[in-house]
């Protein structure tokens, strides 16, 4: 599972496909529950990309 900001969500999706060779599942993190930071920068994560 990868946490990502708005800007890096495309990279996160690609990474899941590359690493797990499976279809990525994108979900938005509720603003009030956002605690994680982006995997690729210092911003607060907005999306969560999981491998199913």
Residue 8 vs 48, nearer CB to Zn ion: 8
Contacts of 49 (CB under 8 A, 6+ apart): 1, 2, 3, 4, 9, 12, 13, 15, 16, 24, 25, 26, 27
Nearer to Zn ion, 17 or 40 (CB): 40
15 touches Zn ion (CB under 5 A): no
Q: Is 8 or 16 the residue whose CB approaches Zn ion more closely?
A: 8
Residues that bind Zn ion (CB under 5 A): 5, 7-8, 38, 40-41, 43
């Amino acid at each position: 599972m990868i946490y990502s900001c708005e800007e890096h969500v495309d990279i996160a999706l690609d990474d899941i496909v590359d690493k797990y060779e499976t279809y990525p599942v994108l979900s938005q993190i509720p603003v009030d529950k956002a605690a994680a930071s982006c995997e690729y920068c210092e911003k607060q994560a907005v999306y969560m990309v999981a491998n199913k």
